[in-house]
Chain A
Amino acid sequence: MIPLDQVLVFSGILFALGVYGVLTRRNAIAILMSVELMLTAVNTNFIAFGVFHRPSLAVGLVFAVFVITVAAAEVGLALAIILRIYRQRTTANVDEVDILKW
């Protein structure tokens, strides 16, 4: 079996990639995908800790299912918003969508 620390390093790399994507991408869809990457990293962590520390209980798996559910709902909402913005302003670039300020 793959040892725990290797799984954690993997999920850490995955999370860092997600953060990098959120910070550098300007396209809203790409940012959303990066967020999904971060969520996947978290899910991996949940499953790994669940398997290694509480093998008898399925706590980690259940949490991962919850996260996926919430992420699905979030993506549905976020894509709808991005679609509306694109319809109105013909862009999905977050730098150009900044009227909600002071």
Chain B
Amino acid sequence: MVGMNAAWLLPAIPAGAFALLLLVRNFLPRKGDWVAIGAVTASFVLFFFVLHDLMTRLGPNFHGVSTGFTWLKIDNFVLRVGFFTDPIAIVMLAAVLVVSLMVHVYSTGYMHGDSRYGWFFTVLALFTAAMSTLVLADNLLLLYVAWELVGICSFLLIGFWWERQSAAEAAKKAFVTTRVGDVGLLIGVILLWKKVGTFDIQTVLHAATSGQIGHTYLTVALLFMLLGAMGKSAQFPFHVWLPDAMEGPTPVSALIHAATMVVAGIYLLARMLPAYMVITGLGTLIMVIGMITAIGAAVIACAQTDIKRIIAYSTLSNLGFMFVAMGAHALTGGMFHLLTHAFFKALLFLGAGSVIHAVETQEVGDLGGLWRKMPITMGTFVIACLANAGLPVFSGFFSKDLVLEGVMHGNTPYYVALLAWVFLSGIYTARLFMLTFFGPSRDHHRYEHAHESPPNMTLPLVVLAVLTLLAGWLALDSVGRALGFPGGVGEFVFVHEPEAYRFSFTVAFAATSAGLLGVLATMYLYWGGGPERARRFADYSPDVYALIRNKFYVDELYQAGINYGVLGLSHAVAWFDRYVVNDTGVNGTAQLTGWLGYRLKFLQNGKLPTYALAMIVGVLVMAIVALSMHS
């Protein structure tokens, strides 16, 4: 029976597809898109066997199953390519494989006719393989390798249309920004390895929790790892790359920059959470970083006009929310939100892609009234929006509630701030929806040409919409048991002890009212006549509006830092190189030698007596020196 021992096949199959496509994609019919889709489908089917095996083994003494092979063996040091399957990995894998499969299918429509169609699927296959490896890695080094692989896939896909300069620059920006964090992760991994002597995650965690690693040392190592997580998950102050990453094709935004790769940072924190829980202050730090990102991004999302950027800031905001969950040690809620968010945010992006495909613009100011033209897109989009706003019944509601309950205990200020976050989520989600699908059409030409997308694009939308509607119910114990789990998600994914889902009316009521308030207020602003009422609202304080519209000028701040800091330093170094190293060191030596040679050559005057005199004086001097040294 194929079970958890076959977990290594999950990344191996897409990796094989990648290798095949890399070599022969141009000789295959349809540029080999079916190879990539087939591989992901195979992985997806296999996933259920792994899941089934995992469910039969679940119990109080079950931690996970490790498979794999030895990669390197140096004396006693063994480096494995190992795959560790446990509930946390399964939850993340579900998100990765479902969204990946949907995005593959969707891309056959969205990328149709692109000149690099085959290459797109090649990189998607590589990404799926790398992401599955990252999730399943049982040692930190393999995780780091996969971490860099997904990074390079992200780079390749953001810059997929590299003929456009903005896309090439966005790819570069994403790569460089995440690199800062990645170096931190590498340092953290090396520090832990130096102390524990192995890369194996479970051994490292055990060493951390049993006090084998000194607290100061552990804090430093974990802080470096946190840097990696912040870079990948685009937390403040590394958040700047994610909105620019929207230069990539929309399916890529859905897969990599919403559902899977950007949550790798949160996944890393979840994996290492037992170690993070040892150091008390780190949780607070993570919560503060997450809160700044969550609230800041939600505020910015309210004033953006690019449909993909609004969703990108919404993603940032949700990533911050998950960071807060990890900081509060609410692993269950955080991982559950990761799962539901993957579904509804991928759905939002794919829906936006469907709109872009139809009207060929990303400016919400040029959209409006599209619900008549694109009913399926609109229907699925509204489900995703409601889930994003966290309204009851939809999946976002359950996961958000779980996190809020986790945060509430002992973190009242954060809880209140998160309620404000829910309110802001309601505002930007409703604004996005109203501007895109309601009101009069603001660009008649585009409106007339708009059409519903083909079935290979709407099918993934419908599947994801169904998942968005249903996934949240997994929080309930009765639903979980009916599906064969020991209970709700709390009985499945936890740190120390399983906890059943306790529905708290106060939390649900407070959060729902906050979200609903945001949605209704925004619907009032945009109802009927388009954005005029909202514009008047913004005109109350143009300065504040400009501040938000320009994303708090963080990009400009960084640009100034580069202009004055990096370029200033470069100028100083260039000056030093030109005038000190080159003019003085290199040319100066040559000039000195030349000048000395010109002066000294006149000693060679060709007269024999001069030479004879010099010779005799020389001999005399040497004789005197030798004699004086001798005596």
Contact = CB atoms under 8 A, between A and B. Distances in A.
Say whether A and B bind each other. yes
Interface of A: 19, 22-23, 26, 31, 94-95, 97-102
Contacts of A97: 606, 608
Contacts of B602: 102
A101 B604 contact: yes
A95 B607 contact: yes
Contact of A98 (B601, B607, B612, B613): B607
Given A19-B616, A23-B616, A98 B609 contact: no
Q: Which size class do B's interface residues fall under?
A: 10 to 19
A31 B608 contact: yes
Contacts of A102: 601-602, 604-606
Nearest to B603: A102
Interface centre among B602, B605, B612, B613 (most CB of A within 10 A): B612
A100 B606 contact: yes
23 contacts: A19-B616, A23-B609, A23-B612, A23-B613, A23-B616, A31-B612, A94-B607, A94-B608, A94-B609, A95-B607, A97-B608, A98-B606, A98-B607, A98-B608, A99-B606, A100-B606, A101-B604, A101-B605, A101-B606, A101-B607, A102-B601, A102-B605, A102-B606
B605 A95 contact: no
Interface centre among B602, B604, B608 (most CB of A within 10 A): B608
A17 to B, nearest CB: 13
A100 B601 CA distance: 12
A73 B606 CA distance: 24
B401 to A, nearest CB: 96
Contacts, number: 33
Interface centre among B601, B605, B607, B613 (most CB of A within 10 A): B607
B2 to A, nearest CB: 91
Interface of B: 601-602, 604-609, 612-613, 616
B606 A95 contact: no
Nearest to B601: A102
A-B pairs with lowest CB-CB distance, top 8: A101-B606, A98-B606, A94-B608, A102-B601, A98-B607, A100-B606, A102-B604, A22-B612
Contacts of A26: 609
Contacts of B606: 97-102
Nearest to B608: A94
A95 B604 contact: no
Contacts of B605: 98, 101-102
A31 to B, nearest CB: 7
Nearest to A102: B601
Given A19-B616, A95-B609, A98-B608, 10 more contacts: A22-B609, A22-B612, A22-B616, A23-B612, A97-B606, A97-B608, A100-B606, A101-B606, A101-B607, A102-B606
A69 B516 CA distance: 120
Contacts of A101: 604-607
Nearest to A22: B612
A23 B601 CA distance: 22
Nearest to B602: A102
Contacts of B601: 102
